[in-house]
Chains A and B, each alone.
Chain A
């Protein structure tokens, strides 16, 4: 996943305040698209027939990053 935090820093600007913890000033942002991801899961495809980890393909799976053309 490409970290675009610098590019979109205004969108993740958190006010400096004694009630807001330090870590919340370090959140990240990444530009993504809503394509069907299943075709891009090159590595995981080999497990598809085994039926065990198909859930990785779901749009809300915990896989955050997919590199193209690998």
Chain B
């Protein structure tokens, strides 16, 4: 095996790594916001709102990410009647995908909070909305932080799929390097190694954060 191409092409990988990371960060943050909205919609008393949320989640969870990427890539410019930049398209597709899963996680996080918390807050005169925002969501969020971390790691790997619509993330760059160097295997090995380093580093960072959050319970 020959890795001498790295001397010339390492910037391709660094560039790709940067875009991959950016896509994962954006999609996990925007996905969390959208996920919370979906969860609240799902808990709504109004049936239509509730069913929109359920339909959305079931559709996303029941169709392949690759199909969703193409749907956004082709569908979004048609609906909006404007040109959407490729990077944005990829970020939106990944966000939509992540939000459905995050919403389900969030729902279980909220359901894990004892009902007594809601009752205590309501008995103090807090509205339903304020109770949710001030009392339930912060606790639920803390509960699901490990799961959100896993979602983030998942998003890093999922983002490889948006290479099909020409976004120059890590996988796309790897394909470029393979084409230019006519090396089949080596660039893929390098890319896999980079993915592994990113996810391992994140796993470590997250377990550290989790420990710190837990310790705040016993200050």
Q: Say if A and B assemble together.
A: no
Give the A-binding residues of B (Cβ under 8 A). Answer: none
